[in-house]
Amino acid sequence: MTGPARSFREATARRRLEGVLDPGSFREILGPAHRLTSPHLAALDLPVSFDDGAVVGSGLLGGRPVLAAAQEGGFMGGGVGEVHGAKLAGLLGLAERQPWAGVLLLLDSGGVRLQEANAGLLAVSEVMRAVLSARAASVPVVALVGGGWGCFGGMGIVARCCDAIAMSEEGRLGVTGPDVLETTKGVEELDASDRAAVWRTYGGKHRYLLGEADRLIEDDLSAFREAAMELLSARRDLGLEELEREHRHLGRRLEEFGGCADARDVWRAAGVEDPDRLPGLEPADFRAAVRAARRGDR
C-alpha cells in the first residue's frame, strides 16, 4: 500500500494504457490536439473533452503489436457518444488491416451517453459489430474492466462480445445498473445504496465465479498487464457451435441458480464453503477458495 501507486482504478485512461502496454510504446491516434469534441454536448451547452473521453491508439504488449483503447470514466461517466464510439469502432476496424496480436479494450462506462440519444445508441451498436468483425478476422479482443464507473449498459454487452475479460474485484460488469434496477424493480430486489450488495451482484468476484470474467486480479496496472498478455492467446471460437454451447451453458446456469435471491446464495449453491467470507478475501485467496466451485472453462 505504500510506495508508488499502481492502482488501475485510480489511474486516468492514458495512464492505464501507459501502465498496461510496454513502457513508452503507446502511440495515440486522433488525440486531444485534434479536438474531435462532441457537437451534441456543445449544442446542449455542456462541457466537452478534447478526446471525447476515449483514448485510442497502438502499442506493444510483451513486444507484440496491439491496438488499444481506454475509456475515461470521469468524463460523462464514460458514456459513449457519437465521436467516442466512432473512435472505438474505427480502432477495431484497423484490426483486420495488419497482423495485430490483438485489441485491448479498457472499459469504464455506464453505457450509452444519454445526452446524445440515438447517436450514442448507434455508436455502441457499431462498436459491438466492430468487435465481432475483428474477432471474425482472427484478431483477439480482450476487455479489461477495473474502473470506478464499471462496465454497464451497451458496453457491458460489448465486454461479453469479446474473447476474454479480466476484472479486478473493484470492477463491475452488467447491463442494467443498480440504480435503474432499484427504480424499476424496487428496493427489495436490489438496494442500490447497499454497496456491498451491488459489488456482490456486479463485481469482479461474482463475474469470475460465474465464469463471465476469465481473470480476477489485483487492482494493479502490472496485474492487468500480465492478464492482458495471457488472455491474448485465449481466443474463443465465433461460430454456431460456440453459440449453441453458450446457450446450453446459460440454460444450465438458469436451472442451477435461477432461484437464488442474492449472489451469496449462488456461491453457496455452487458449493462454496462459508460464502460470507468471500468478499473480504484478497484476489489470490479468493481464487483458491472458489477453484472447485467456479463455473466457466478458463
Partner 1 sequence: MERLSFDFACRGDPAPLLAPILVGVVASGNLEVLVEGGAPPGRCRLEVLTSARGFGEIWEAVLRDFATRHSLSGLAVSVNDAGATPAVVSLRLDQAVDEYLRRP
Partner 2 sequence: MSRRWDEGRRRRAARLARAAAVCPDKWVDPGSATALLEALLEPGDRVCLEGDNQKQADFLARSLARVDPARVHDLHLVLSVLALPEHVELFERGVARRVDFSFSGPQAVRLAQLAGSGRIEIGAIHTYLELYARYFVDLTPRVALVAAASADREGNLYTGPNTEETPAIVEATAFRDGVVVAQVNERAERLPRVDIPAGWVDFVVRAPTPSAIEPLFTRDPAQVSEVQVLMAMMVIRGIYAEYGVDRLNHGIGFDTAAIELLLPTYAEGLGLRGKICGHWALNPHPTLIPAIESGFVRSVHAFGSELGMEAYVAARPDVFFTGRDGSLRSNRAFCQTAGHYACDLFIGSSLQVDLEGNSSTATRSRIAGFGGAPNMGADARGRRHASPSWLKAGREARSDPGAVPRGRKLVVQLLETFREHMEPAFVERLDAWDLAGALKMELPPVMVYGDDVSHIVTEEGIANLLLCRTSEERAQAIRGVAGYTPVGRGRSRAAVENLRDRGILRRPEDLGIDKRLATRDLLAARSVRDLVRWSGGLYDPPRRFRNW
Binding interface with partner 2 (CB under 8 A): 1-2, 4-5, 7, 10, 169-170, 193-196, 198-199, 203, 279-280
Binding mask 204-243 for partner 1 (x = CB under 8 A): ----------------------------------------
CB nearer partner 2, residue 9 or residue 249:
9
| Residue 68 in the binding site for partner 1 (CB under 8 A) | no
- For the CB of residue 217, give the shortest distance to partner 2 in the complex, in Å: 15
Q: Which CB atom, from 16 or from 215, has the smaller least distance to partner 1?
A: 16
b/e code 127-138 from CB counts within 10 Å (16+ = b): bbebbbbbbeee
**Cell digits for 98?**
495488419
- Cell triple for 296: 466457466
Q: What angle do CA 26, 27, 28 make, to 5 degrees?
A: 115
> Are 192 and 198 contacting, i.e. CB atoms less than 8 angstroms apart?
yes
**What distance lies between CA 223 and its chain's CA centroid?**
15
| 3-class secondary-structure state, position 256 | helix
Our CB check for partner 1 shows the closer of 84 and 207 to be 84
Residue 70 CB, shortest distance to partner 1, in Å, is 12
Which set of grid coordinates corresponds to residue 48? 466537452
Let me know: does 171 contact 148? Beta carbons within 8 Å.
no
- Asked if 148 touches partner 1 (CB under 8 A), the answer is no
What residues make contact with partner 1 under the rule CB under 8 A? Answer: 12, 14, 31-33, 42, 45-51, 72, 74-75
